[in-house]
Amino acid sequence: MNTQTEQRSQRQRRQLYGRRKGPKLSAHQQHLIETLLPTLALKLEQNADPKRYFPPEIDDVWLEVGFGAGEHLLWQAERHPQVGLIGAEPYISGVAKLLSKLDERQNEHQAPNIRLHTDDARDIIDALPDGSLGRVFILFPDPWPKTRHHKRRFVQTELLDRLARVMKPGAEFRFASDDAPYFEWTLERICAHPAFEWQAASSADWLTRPDDWPQTRYEAKELHGKPAYLRAFRR
């Protein structure tokens, strides 16, 4: 593919996330971006087993798309030391907040099982080999509520096709939203997709947050509606 074609392809690619920059970073946060982030940055290799990005004791890899301030990503990493957690987040202020949390824990936990990608999560998904992820999280993504913006919602049938390729049989897909129309949108696409199975038996299955699904600061303070939790499995 020549340079002009690549540039045209990039322009045509739908941007599924919002702003990349927020408030000005503090001096300490900027220092962490310059020093700590490079040690955790995901160095993508096309079709490489993602366990290669982590220490040898890692036996599974999970992906979180849009980790926000990183509370959930860090919680999962600390409680599953045998799992490699890849987090994708283009919003630099959120990345800086996670780095600050990691810096606070540097004497007790060096987070060897976290790798960060500060750009589009689709870069990761497209580079992964088939059947290489054990779990995928998409928690409280931007719902893009206006009808004309629905094409920018991250969960699309095309995205589920991509995830189905890289998820292992039995791998779990977790989605949460406080926007009822977006939850319904996602559920409709999951149920229509032949590669995924939704196993809910009652309303409690999507209205109750599972014990191993920690509450984030956003969920505690800034919800715009009642949250719903979706768990589906790769057939």
pLDDT at 15: 60
pLDDT at 110: 60
- Residue 11 within any structural domain of the chain: no
Local structure of residue 113 (DSSP, 8 states):
T
The closest alpha carbon to 129, from 48, 45, 53, belongs to: 48
107 pLDDT more than 60: no
Q: Which domain, by its residues, includes 166?
A: 50-234
Query: In this predicted model, which residue has the larger pLDDT, 105 or 113?
Result: 113
Yes or no: say if 222 and 184 are a contact pair by the CB < 8 Å rule: no
- Is 49 among the catalytic positions? no
17 is written with which tokens?
């996330």
Yes or no: say if 22 and 33 are a contact pair by the CB < 8 Å rule: no
pLDDT at 8: 41
Identify the active-site residue in 103, 119, 120, 142. 142
Arithmetic mean of pLDDT, 217-221: 81
The percentage of the chain sitting over the pLDDT mark of 70, rounded to a whole number, equals 89
- Residue 82 within any structural domain of the chain: yes
Domains identified in the chain, total number: 1
The overall average pLDDT reported for the chain is 90
CA atoms within 13 A on the CB side of 29: 14
pLDDT at 68: 94
pLDDT at 7: 40
- Residue 9 within any structural domain of the chain: no
pLDDT at 18: 52
Q: What is the CATH number of the domain that holds 94?
A: 3.40.50.150
Query: In this predicted model, which residue has the larger pLDDT, 218 or 20?
Result: 218
Query: In this predicted model, which residue has the larger pLDDT, 23 or 108?
Result: 23
Q: Give the model confidence (pLDDT) of 111-156 as tens digits.
A: 689 999 999 999 999 999 999 999 999 999 999 999 999 999 999 9
- Residue 44 within any structural domain of the chain: no
Q: Which residue has the tokens 């045209």?
A: 8
Least confident of 17-31, 58-72, 73-87: 17-31
228 is written with which tokens?
């719903």
| Reported confidence tier of residue 3, pLDDT bands at 50, 70, 90 | very low
- Residue 224 within any structural domain of the chain: yes
Q: Is the overall model pTM greater than 0.85, yes or no?
A: yes
- Residue 108 within any structural domain of the chain: yes
DSSP 3-state of 65:
strand
pLDDT at 40: 96
- Residue 29 within any structural domain of the chain: no
- Residue 217 within any structural domain of the chain: yes
Q: Give the model confidence (pLDDT) of 9-64 as tens digits.
A: 443 455 645 556 678 999 999 999 999 999 999 999 999 999 999 999 999 999 99
